[in-house]
Amino acid sequence: MTRATHRELAVKAAIVNSERRVLLVRRSQDADSFAGSWEIPGGRLLPEETPVEGLRRELLEELGAEADIGRPVDVWDFVSFDSVLVVGITFQARIDPHARLTLSQEHDAQMWATLAEVRQLPMSESLRHQLQQHLAAASGEP
């Protein structure tokens, strides 16, 4: 087991549109970790931020979009490549469906993915499981 040196808090946004597609962003090929994998937008909190404030900031930075932040839908954790225990909260969120997204350098692509696409795209297995449950519930699938 990898031992963490300290702990940080992170937040992510599960943004699902009216067509029951989730917004995913792909990590740039020059990313420090998980290059080329798909994820939902978000990141680590600054010390002075609440989770909602931090998520709003991250969505502005990563997507260039303001969001309505909803309820928490998942809590997760992992030990990062730099031995930090990251404890995170995923929130439901909404953005203007007509907003033009402007990705940060952290990401090189975005897509609105269906449940079938989530099952196939390269991403962490824990995120895949989380999104499958979230999208299945949104579409009424078992």
Instruction: Tell me if 14 is assigned to some domain.
Output: yes
Number of domains into which the chain is organized:
1
Q: CB of 62 within 8 A of CB of 69?
A: no
**Domain range spanning residue 127?**
6-139
Backbone angles phi, psi at 62, to 5 degrees: -85, -30
pTM for the model stands at: 0.90
Instruction: Tell me if 71 is assigned to some domain.
Output: yes
CATH number, domain with residue 12:
3.90.79.10
Instruction: Tell me if 78 is assigned to some domain.
Output: yes
Task: Give the whole-angstrom CA distance, residue 67 versus residue 17.
Answer: 12
**Side-chain half-sphere CA neighbours of 36 within 13 A:** 2
The pLDDT tens digits along the chain (142 residues) read 567 789 999 999 999 999 999 999 999 988 677 788 999 999 999 999 999 999 999 999 999 999 999 999 999 998 888 889 999 999 999 999 889 999 999 999 999 999 999 999 999 999 999 998 888 776 655 5
Instruction: Tell me if 72 is assigned to some domain.
Output: yes
Instruction: Tell me if 1 is assigned to some domain.
Output: no
Instruction: Tell me if 94 is assigned to some domain.
Output: yes
